[in-house]
Amino acid sequence: MGAKDKQPLLIIAGPTAAGKTEISLVIAERLHGEILSCDSGQVFQDLNIGTAKIPTPDRRNIAHYGIDIVSPSSPFSVADYQSYAKGVIADIAHRGQLPILVGGTGLWIRALIQNYLFSAQNPQLSQILRRHIRMIGEEHGWQMIRELLKILDPASYEAIAPNDHQRLVRALEVLWSTGKPLPRAGQDSPYHVAYWVVTRPLRELHQRIAIRTQRMIAQGLPQEVLNLLHSGITRHSQALSAIGYKETVDWAYGLTSDSQRDALIILHTRQYAKRQLTWFRSEKIAHWLDLSHFGPDRVIQQIVDHARETFALRD
């Protein structure tokens, strides 16, 4: 399938706190686009402050998707996102608008644009396996899970960070439920992609992460987590394993102080940003722009001009 026969898809990716949200709104306005979030935390309802969801009044009447689509008590996998996103992109394109995917969950982006094939799973079996694997990790240490992956699925062992428990569980769950490892190679992409990674120098990202963390605390992240726990969401749910939430859950259970909670959120977010940068460097089709060096206006104009040329869009 040639590029002209594929659905256009503009991607604005990058590490957390780089400033993707702000520039994506302007780009969507100029290109008559609609935004599809690609953030593994924003898919959950009621996780607002810690996932930095953009409030509805601030969305400039631009349609947003991929936000608040599942209950925080429900699991949500890369395969779930791929299926959801394919439908959203097709609908946006059908209405003559430009789909703009914005986010930092690199595996989800890759699974979508490389058209990963996922084996069918028995939902009940998967749920049982997921609980069992997490129990092993919590009781016997996550290193045991990693050693199992090293033997059974070396590719996942190499690709997944040691403290990314959610993906460790997912990899082993898929392996045991289907007999096949997680797919790490896709088929022909259905999309004509313009892929941009917007970033900043690491020191500046660190500063922005610290400032954003303090803002989230001031906006009420601790109370948001307490409300979720009081509503019956378990501390081991996928939703509450997200950075910012896990550390605040530990605080809620009296395991850390206020200052320790804040320091851990900042540390873990910085570590995550570094992993994101490493991931996006492996995306050979991505173009990089430094928001600190070029400034938002030049970055926006570069992406807009390139999209108009790439997708033959009218001004």
Distance separating alpha carbons of residues 257 and 136, to the nearest angstrom: 28
* The pLDDT of residue 8: 96
- In this predicted structure, what is the pLDDT of residue 218? 98
Distance CA 197, CA 289 (A): 6
Report the distance separating Cα 181 and Cα 174, nearest Å: 6
Q: Which of 18-32, 42-56, 160-174, 228-242 has the lowest mean pLDDT?
A: 160-174
Query: pLDDT band at 153, cuts 50/70/90?
Result: confident
Q: Which of 89, 101, 92 is nearest to 12 (CA)?
A: 101
Residue 81: phi and psi, rounded to 5, are -65, -45
- Bridge partners (DSSP) of residue 103 are 13, 38
Tokens of residue 295, six digits: 């400034």
- Structural domains in the chain, CATH included, are 3-117+192-311 (3.40.50.300), 123-178 (1.10.20.140)
Q: Nearest Cα to 101, choosing from 25, 53, 35?
A: 35
Q: pTM score, two decimals?
A: 0.82
In angstroms, what CA-CA distances link 242 with 51, 72, 96, 148, 239? 8, 11, 35, 24, 6
CB of 70 closer than 8 Å to CB of 37: no
d(CA 78, CA 71): 16
> CA 32, CA 41: separation in Å to the nearest integer?
26
Residue 72 has pLDDT above 60, yes or no: yes
What HEC string does 123-152 produce?
A: HHHHHHHHHHHHHHHHHHCHHHHHHHHHHH
Q: What's the pLDDT score for residue 290?
A: 97
DSSP state of 69: -
Rounded Cα distance, 300 and 290, in Å:
11
- Residue 231 pLDDT greater than 60, yes or no: yes
Convert the pLDDT of each residue in 100-147 to its tens digit.
999 999 999 999 999 887 766 666 667 778 888 888 888 889 998 999
Cβ partners under 8 Å of residue 300, min gap 6:
23, 26, 27, 30
Q: Cα–Cα distance between 168 and 174 in angstroms, integer?
A: 10
Residue 1 has pLDDT above 60, yes or no: no
CA 216 to chain centre: 18
Write out pLDDT tens, residues 5-45. Answer: 799 999 999 999 999 999 999 999 999 999 999 999 999 99
Task: Report the Cα 308 to chain-centroid distance in Å.
Answer: 26
- Helices 202-219 and 258-281: crossing angle in degrees, nearest 10, is 140
The reported pLDDT for the residue numbered 188 is 75
pLDDT value of residue 256: 98
| Sheet with 7-13, edge to edge strand ranges | 64-65, 33-38, 98-103, 7-13, 191-199, 287-290
Residue 227 confidence (pLDDT) above 80: yes
Once rounded to an integer, what is the mean pLDDT over residues 211-240?
97
182 DSSP assignment: P
Rounded CA-CA distance 268/189 in Å is 33
